[in-house]
Amino acid sequence: MTESERPRRRRSRSRRRRRAARLRRALLAGLVVVSLLALAGGWIGFRGWQARAHLLNAAGLARELSAQVVGGDADRAQRTLAALQEQSAAARSATADPGWWLGRRAPFAGDDLGAVRQIAVAIDDLARRAFPTLLRADLASLVPAEGRIDVGRLRTVSADLGTVNEAVQQTRRDLAGVSGGGLVAQVRQALVDLRGEVDRLAGLTAAADQGARLLPSLLGADGPRRYLLVSQNLAELRATGGMFGAYAVIESENGRMTMGRQGSSASLGQFVPPLPMPKEVRALWADLPGTYPADVNLTPHFPTAAALYREMFRRKTGTTVDGVLAVDPVVLSYLLKATGPVLVPGGVPLASDTVVRTLLNDTYQRLDVKQQDAFFASAAAAVFDSIFTKNVDPRVLLSVFDRAITERRILFWSARPEEQRTFGDSRLAGALPEQDTVPTVGVFLNDGSGAKLGYYLRPAATLTVGECRPDGRRELRLRVTLQSTAPKSGLSESVLGLGRAGDPYTVRTLVSVFTPAGGAVLDARLDGAETAVGSGTERRRQVATANVEVRPGASRTVELTVLTGKKTGTGEAQLWLTPTATPWTTQVETAPSCDQ
């Protein structure tokens, strides 16, 4: 080896030693990082297991709390709330440590950990901010006592209900900001379920908040009020439920309500020329809603129907009312569960289990038209008096109203624009919105038989969320089945009516399908074959109407494919249905979001 080669070899060995040292340090650092990541992953897994256990416990306790609040068991509700707060706080703590914070920023699992954190925070916020105030609120002030509602106490409870609603609405907004795309199935389903529960709770608290703020004025705290109470006859279907049959004038002053004049829609006669109505409604139903009081609610938009009926009543009687309240016999069955049976003058008992059959079928079989009107008026007065004179548990009664409003069986319209705006697009207002937060398909039924055969219909609907299109819109597939349980003989002339389907025992129903706002109908089939449908629009929704005739014991199926109105990533959808004597059998089949 020459003298010149030795320094080069020494430099080469030195470089190899330095590279080896750097490699050892890198391996050691990598080992440390891997160990820390494994430790953090194990810690996150442990904390995740803890959070899951606490959240499951909290969910069970929340269901118990709901049942106890509705049942009026205040002592047990307080104990359940304390346990719920303990579990929700533990879940929040388990998802708040530094390890979980780091995990939320990691690829793959980070979104899931973030969603679990938001779920824990949402439940804890409700347990700490909303539920305690709700339990303290004097809900008894929302229902009658000794023939009147204490409007002073009602105004006091309004502040508490406003606090509850603010907390619930904030939780709802926070959950809406959590992206469901890319989450593992279990976390995504938990998020969807919680959103559904909070959405329902938000609807209730918003309605309670609105009611507590508006009821004093509506009940005459600032001067006398007068309303029309109308009964929707589900034996002859209309889009909002049933034909407006019997009516009664309700007068209210300083919380005390009395029933005045009673009558029937038939007594109001017909109006020629017809009353003015929206052009879209006239294009769909000609002059019928503006001519006949029984046809004002061929449209599902209750404010239009109520305003027409109010004007018809004014022109016929000279009396101007401040609003219209609509109920149906199913609501009476719910109320009778709270009040117990009542006796109608003449000795006919009305009980929760039988009142729907009594009012929608038996009455038509045994009474003539004049006797029917008198009986309907007496039945409404008896139930009305029972609510205001019996000692009814307020929480039970509020639960009844909650169910009826959720099913759109109680509808209210105020003739005062500032009050009506407050109700907005709530279920109580029965307003068909011109915008959707979630794509909504409406299925509305109108009798085409001129008969009282709607009592025998058994409706079902399935809505399936379909493909995402390149333009961002989404297909929705709707299947509606109508089954008739009507007998083939033995019904009275009052039930069979005009028999416009030819065979008087055949139920003819006009099925109107309303697309999501801005949407479109792609195709329509009846029992698997393409069918012609009437078309039009109302409140930015395309409307397709099919004539469906069902013989006794048979069923018919209408299927439509519709498009959402705009780009939508969600895989969720909703149905809005005409309330019927027998509840619909429904199913909504969701799909992954378009960005998954």
DSSP string of 72-118? T-HHHHHHHHHHHHHHHHHHHHHT-SHHHHHHTTSTTTHHHHHHHHH
Beta carbons within 10 angstroms of residue 421's beta carbon: 10
Q: What CA–CA distance (Å, rounded) separates 302 from 396?
A: 27
Q: What CA–CA distance (Å, rounded) separates 303 from 327?
A: 15
Residue type, 147: G
pLDDT tens per residue, range 498-524: 888 789 999 999 999 999 999 999 999
- CATH topology (fold) of 433-589: Immunoglobulin-like (2.60.40)
Cross-strand partners of 226: 251
State the pLDDT at residue 63: 66
| Separation in Å, CA 503 to CA 451, 453, 495, 499, 507 | 12, 12, 13, 6, 9
Instruction: State the DSSP H helix or E strand holding residue 249, giving kind and residue range, or none if neither.
Output: strand 241-253
Q: What CA–CA distance (Å, rounded) separates 88 from 397?
A: 30
Model-wide pTM > 0.75: yes
Max mean pLDDT among 124-128, 157-161, 270-274, 354-358 falls in 270-274
State the pLDDT at residue 27: 34
Q: For the ranges 210-214, 256-260, 418-422, 428-432, which has the lowest average pLDDT? A: 210-214
- CATH topology (fold) of 225-421: Aminopeptidase (3.40.630)
The arithmetic mean of pLDDT across residues 191-205, rounded, is 72
State the pLDDT at residue 586: 97
Max mean pLDDT among 29-33, 81-85, 425-429, 587-591 falls in 587-591
The arithmetic mean of pLDDT across residues 468-482, rounded, is 94
pLDDT surpassing 90 at residue 89: no
How many whole angstroms from its chain centre is CA 211? 17
Read off the pLDDT band of 138 (50, 70, 90): low
Q: What is the dihedral of CA 18, 22, 27, 28, to 10 degrees?
A: 100
% of the chain surpassing 90 pLDDT: 43
pLDDT surpassing 90 at residue 41: no
> 450: helix, coil or strand?
coil
Phi, psi of 184 (to 5 degrees): -65, 155
Which tokens belong to 399?
Answer: 């639960």
DSSP string of 105-150? TSTTTHHHHHHHHHHHHHHHHIIIIIHHHHHHS-GGGGS-BTTB--
Percent of the chain as helix, strand, coil, to the nearest 5: 50, 20, 30
Read off the pLDDT band of 171 (50, 70, 90): confident
Contact 579, 408 (CB under 8 A): yes
Residue type, 537: T
Q: Please indicate whether residue 172 or residue 210 has the higher confidence score (pLDDT).
A: 172
State the pLDDT at residue 54: 66
User: Which positions ≥6 away from 63 have C-beta within 8 Å?
Assistant: none
State the pLDDT at residue 65: 73
Backbone torsion region of residue 182, taken as left when φ is above 0, otherwise alpha when ψ lies between -120 and 50, otherwise beta: left
In the chain, where the domains are located: 30-218, 225-421, 433-589
